[in-house]
Amino acid sequence: MLPLSYKHLFECQHRGDIDQKVSLQNLEKLKQAFEEFERGGVRVLDMSNFRHIVKKCLGLHDINDEQIQELFMKIDYAGNGTIVWDEFCTYMQLEYMEIEESVSRSKQAALALPACIRSMCHGEPVLGIRATPDGTIVTVREEGTVYYWSSELQLKKSKTVFQQRPVNRKLKWATDFVVMPQYNKLIIATGEREIQFYELSSLEPYCQLSALETVPLRLDYCSTGPDECMILYGDAQGCVNIILITSVGDMLRLWKKLPMVENMPTIGIDGAALSPNVTHIRWKIHGDWVTQVKYSESMRAIISSSNHEPSALVIGCTRPTTNIEQTLREIREFCREGKTRKTQAGLGTPQQRPAGDQTVFSIYKGVKTFDLCKKQNLLVTGGMDRLIRMWNPYVPGKPIGYLSGHCSPIFYLSISPEDGRIFSVSMDNIIKIWDIQDQACLFTAHPKASLVHGDLSACFYSPSIKALYVATDCMALLPLRTRAQPRGRLIVSHREPVLCCGYSESFRQVVSCTEGSVVKVWDFDTGSQVFEFGGAHGVSAITCLTFDPKGRRLVTGGRDGSLKVWNFNNGQCLKIFQKESESTEVCDCTYLTVNRNTYIISVGWNRRIDIYFDSPEDPHHIQSPQPSWQDDLKYGHKEDILCVAQCPPSLLASGSYDGEIIVWNLVSGHLQCRFLTPLPTDCSHSEDVDRSASSLVFLRNRALNVDFISAACLVSSGAEGYVHFWNVLNGGKFLASFEASRLKYQVTKLAVTREEDCLYAADQAGFIFVYDIKTYALGPEQEAPKMLNYWRAHISSITCLQIVEDGHVLLTSSTDCTVRLWTVHGEFIGTFGQSESWSIHTPTSWKHPTIPYEILIDPLSMPAHSILEEEVSVSDVINSEQAEETRDPNDIKSDSSSKPRQPSLQITDTDIEEEIKSLSYPLKQGKWLRHEIFKNANKLPNHGGPKAYHTLKCFDIDDTSTICKKPDLSLAVIDPFLSSFADEGSAQS
């Protein structure tokens, strides 16, 4: 049976998917049932027979005939009305394979290569890499040089903290260091048996503990409570030393007043342990040097490791548990000595920790490095034998898994619990990322690719920055390469821009395709994901899609120049249509039927109308197009064709990048008429205007009615937000146009209702405008049609606009990675992929009256006001408002015809005060306008204001660093090609 994690990932909430409940035993029963029908002379099963055996063999009492019929239709993608056993098995196998691949795809991880390298001056090796709470990266070299780096490895500060010594004296050397952020201290262990404290900000000497029993090799620090801490160090004798300090601030200030030794106040460890605020505990744990020591707050235990096999890793308590005999012995010693020793008796011979107080892991060739994750209940160890062992920290007998793949000793391990991954680095500078659940390697970075060369000396993975830092003879930064994730309350349907989507009425499903060549199938009635498959066109983006006339097969077009036909319910590629010699991008495609034959028409960068004959009986998996029309070869488009629209029985229209529209006769292949998109009347820079025809739609009722032979029956998008109406039946001519996007953004998609009385226009800024065109363009030019409604549906360019569900629901998708449903009146139903499911026929389950959060906070959604555009000062606004109060109401004139106006609101004084507090006006050039008003949807009039202003207007363009520091800056309103240059200051208005 399919693994449980896969089943729940694609579980359909409104019904129990039959194909998800088929076990191996059920499969055998189904096979026997098919064979029984075959022995009876029935080689294929129709719907009624299939329903009978499914109910009989699966024994599912909670399924109905509609669910069985839906499964039958998924398998019978050609619509023949019958299926055979092989088709059933193929469907099930491919579905499970795609589900497994989609899960694997969701776990993909990689580091950005090559690494960002920062050279360092010649010197001793780097001991370690640590991070401060503010994200500063700290490194220390053996000779005592401390480096402070930014998270991007920009050097902020460096200083050698050890005092210069005479030539005849041996130089002091450091062994390890740790950050003490609560007290602004840096702790460094030295080879002269010292633990030194420095000011973290200035690196000035503060105090030191001296006369340790032996050299401290590994350090760790933990704050254990208010003004309490623990300092750990493992030494060269295999001992773990614990220094517990209470009233830490007072103790450090007291030590700072002690006599100086080499320019640093000094106290011996024995003298420090006499204080009631200091406890020194020393355990003999290992039979070799301590390689790593760490305190686990979650387990309240100390973990230490060494290369000694019998005691390779030990998890033990800090203090010994209560032992009556030991307590009596200490009381007798106290009475005899007359004082309390806070250190263990006989520091030169530390005691063994009781067996009941520790868990010992015996590991072949010992442990060089380890990491513990309480959230995953996982301990990982690595060492000289090149294996990464995974343990339950409470079960030392046997590992729960092995990760093999490194060819040299493991140097560093780190668990990322948020991602469920393990990062490992070996001595040959090979870096790997592992998946914890699958125990599989997700990514490998070799030195040739990462450019990390030299002897490895320190590593550190920062979960907050999601980056790996590696120190050799230089510093290297390898950030985790992740796709942009939604921030905060943002909900997305895909991880990359959605370039097209469509609705299958047969299955009541929505299919969306992305720039990353991923296809997702959504349940229209609930918004939940049903299925997903990737790599549909390799690494090429999917640019367009359409469904066959029966709605059971999906056709996708990609930037690789091919069309592919799919059974989209299991990811099976049924056919490939492509030209043999060309691989130019396909921009649009559509199905059409001529004389009972079905064809697929595609257009794109090859500037031709490509027609493919679609026959399920054709045995060829890869097919070439039909010969091109002669008129197309002689008189066709001279620029890339962006869109195509058809009007049965015989009309086809195509629009190109240069604004040319050609209407073709499908039966003869002749050119019927051609137009050139006009420029706006007020346009003074025609050479710079984008006049491309990016969307076409036929008014079919007019085209098929002889009463409208002189009326416009073709609508196209044009320059600067205009739409144009054309007559194509009476010789072809331009009739009318109007500005559909009041913000003058390019209209990307057009749609008309079934009755063709309303036109929906979507633009590059994500706005949707609705116009009454019932009587528009029936004759010569006339006034612009009435705008019935408008709202903002996305924060970026809209790539799909389709009216579905008998004209009551609007389907949209956008390059902002979302696919959404709206009512035709602009009520927000939901975003596909949101956690809460909806019921399409239950308005109370919709998101309405709220709207997407990112639309609320986007600058373009803000209400219009002159002060926001820095045209007037605050005093001018106040004076103008006072003048408004004294003006005679009869003198007020309406200017509502120029722009869509916001409806009046009932706003209380409390609402005004809250909005004033949450709004910061940009009174100076270069300041960012923070938009945090309208916390509730009912405070936002009509889903956002219509006033257009450039997103970068509030910035000083020369100060490009300001742009980089604003993660919530929306570049959706800028040309997509300009947005990629924003960080270099290349974005221009």
Q: Give CA–CA dist 120/473, Å, rounded.
A: 7
- Is the model's pTM score more than 0.95? no
Which residue type is seen at 285? I
User: What phi-psi label fits residue 703: left (phi over 0), alpha (psi between -120 and 50 degrees) or beta?
Assistant: alpha
Output the CA angle 109-110-114, nearest 5 degrees. Answer: 175
Report the C-alpha dihedral over residues 797, 803, 805, 806, rounded to 10 degrees: 170
pLDDT at position 946: 28
Integer angstrom CA distances of residue 727 from 476, 703, 724, 943: 65, 9, 10, 35
In this structure, are residues 697 and 750 in contact, taking their beta carbons and an 8 Å threshold? Answer: yes
- Which pLDDT band, with edges at 50, 70 and 90, does 977 fall under? very low
Listed in sequence order, the DSSP H helices in 64-207 are 65-75, 85-106
pLDDT at position 328: 66
pLDDT at position 861: 83
Sheet holding 388-391, edge to edge: 369-373, 378-382, 388-391, 401-403
pLDDT tens-digit readout, 82-100: 888 877 777 777 777 766 6
Output the CA angle 962-966-971, nearest 5 degrees. Answer: 100
Range 767-787 burial, b when 16+ CB lie within 10 A, else e: bbbbbebeebbbeeeeeebee
Where is pLDDT greater, at 904 or 434? 434
Single out the residue of 723, 707, 680 nearest to residue 779, CA to CA: 707
In this structure, are residues 636 and 582 in contact, taking their beta carbons and an 8 Å threshold? Answer: no
E strands, 191-236, where? 194-199, 205-210, 216-225, 228-235
Q: Is 207 exposed, middle or buried (0-12, 13-18, 19+ CB in 10 A)?
A: buried
- Which pLDDT band, with edges at 50, 70 and 90, does 859 fall under? confident
For residue 69, report the phi and psi dihedrals to the nearest 5 degrees: -65, -40
Single out the residue of 428, 429, 454, 313 nearest to residue 371, CA to CA: 313
Q: Give CA–CA dist 322/328, Å, rounded.
A: 11
Output the CA angle 959-960-965, nearest 5 degrees. Answer: 105
pLDDT at position 917: 47
In this structure, are residues 572 and 91 in contact, taking their beta carbons and an 8 Å threshold? Answer: yes
pLDDT tens-digit readout, 712-764: 999 999 998 999 999 998 778 899 999 999 888 999 999 999 999 999 999 99
Q: Give CA–CA dist 743/769, Å, rounded.
A: 11
In this structure, are residues 763 and 747 in contact, taking their beta carbons and an 8 Å threshold? Answer: yes
In this structure, are residues 245 and 225 in contact, taking their beta carbons and an 8 Å threshold? Answer: no
Single out the residue of 195, 218, 222 nearest to residue 206, CA to CA: 195
Q: Taking the mean position of all CA atoms in its chain, how far away is CA 393?
A: 32
Mean pLDDT on 50-69: 73
- Which pLDDT band, with edges at 50, 70 and 90, does 945 fall under? very low
Asked if the model's pLDDT at residue 345 lies above 50, the reply is: no
950 Cβ contact list (under 8 Å, min separation 6): 973, 974, 989
pLDDT tens-digit readout, 152-176: 999 999 999 998 877 777 888 999 9
pLDDT at position 616: 73
Tokens 């005004």 belong to which residue? 912
pLDDT at position 333: 67
Q: Give CA–CA dist 726/270, Å, rounded.
A: 96
Q: Give CA–CA dist 851/944, Å, rounded.
A: 10
Report the C-alpha dihedral over residues 218, 221, 224, 226, rounded to 10 degrees: 150
Asked if the model's pLDDT at residue 881 lies above 70, the reply is: no
Single out the residue of 240, 243, 320 nearest to residue 288, CA to CA: 240
Q: Give CA–CA dist 570/99, Å, rounded.
A: 9
Single out the residue of 585, 582, 547, 549 nearest to residue 567, CA to CA: 547
Tokens 């097919």 belong to which residue? 623
pLDDT at position 336: 65
Q: Give CA–CA dist 53/36, Å, rounded.
A: 11
Single out the residue of 78, 30, 212 nearest to residue 614, CA to CA: 78
Average pLDDT over the chain, rounded to an integer: 81
Strand 266-268 relative to strand 733-739: parallel, antiparallel, unpaired? unpaired
Single out the residue of 143, 146, 232 nearest to residue 191, CA to CA: 143
Strand 228-235 relative to strand 239-246: parallel, antiparallel, unpaired? antiparallel
Per DSSP, the residues of 682-721 read T-S-GGG-------EEE-HHHHT-GGGTTS--EEEE-GGG
Tokens 């989209």 belong to which residue? 568
Asked if the model's pLDDT at residue 247 lies above 90, the reply is: yes
Determine if the peptide bond prior to 649 is cis (ω within 30°). yes
Where is pLDDT greater, at 482 or 899? 482
Asked if the model's pLDDT at residue 45 lies above 60, the reply is: yes
In this structure, are residues 628 and 609 in contact, taking their beta carbons and an 8 Å threshold? Answer: yes
Q: Give CA–CA dist 140/604, Å, rounded.
A: 58
pLDDT tens-digit readout, 394-451: 999 899 999 999 999 999 999 998 888 999 999 999 999 999 988 889 899 999 989 9
Q: Give CA–CA dist 892/371, Å, rounded.
A: 73
pLDDT tens-digit readout, 539-593: 899 999 999 988 889 999 999 999 999 999 888 899 999 988 778 999 999 998 8
Q: Which two tokens stand for residue 472?
A: 């050799």
Range 66-104 burial, b when 16+ CB lie within 10 A, else e: ebbebbbbbbbbbeeebbebebbeebbebbbebbeebbe
Mean pLDDT on 469-484: 85
Angle between helices 47-58 and 24-39 (to 10 degrees): 140
Where is pLDDT greater, at 77 or 393? 393
Q: Taking the mean position of all CA atoms in its chain, how far away is CA 965?
A: 19
In this structure, are residues 730 and 720 in contact, taking their beta carbons and an 8 Å threshold? Answer: no
Q: Give CA–CA dist 766/777, Å, rounded.
A: 26
Q: Is 911 exposed, middle or buried (0-12, 13-18, 19+ CB in 10 A)?
A: middle
pLDDT at position 327: 60
Q: Which two tokens stand for residue 177?
A: 């260091």
In this structure, are residues 347 and 384 in contact, taking their beta carbons and an 8 Å threshold? Answer: no
E strands, 349-505, where? 351-352, 358-361, 369-373, 378-382, 388-391, 401-403, 410-416, 421-426, 431-435, 440-445, 458-462, 467-471, 474-479, 498-504
Report how far apart the first and last C-alpha atoms of the chain are (Å, whole number): 57
pLDDT > 90 fraction of the chain, expressed in percent and rounded: 54
pLDDT tens-digit readout, 820-838: 999 999 999 999 999 899 9
In this structure, are residues 865 and 933 in contact, taking their beta carbons and an 8 Å threshold? Answer: no
- Which pLDDT band, with edges at 50, 70 and 90, does 322 fall under? low
Q: Give CA–CA dist 155/781, Å, rounded.
A: 67
Q: Taking the mean position of all CA atoms in its chain, how far away is CA 468?
A: 19
pLDDT at position 957: 32
Q: Give CA–CA dist 123/142, Å, rounded.
A: 9
Asked if the model's pLDDT at residue 537 lies above 80, the reply is: yes
Q: Which two tokens stand for residue 663?
A: 């209407």
Determine if the peptide bond prior to 114 is cis (ω within 30°). yes
Q: Give CA–CA dist 83/441, Å, rounded.
A: 40
Single out the residue of 566, 537, 541 nearest to residue 551, CA to CA: 566
For residue 874, report the phi and psi dihedrals to the nearest 5 degrees: -65, -40
| Beta-ladder partners of 387 | none
Q: Give CA–CA dist 729/663, Å, rounded.
A: 10
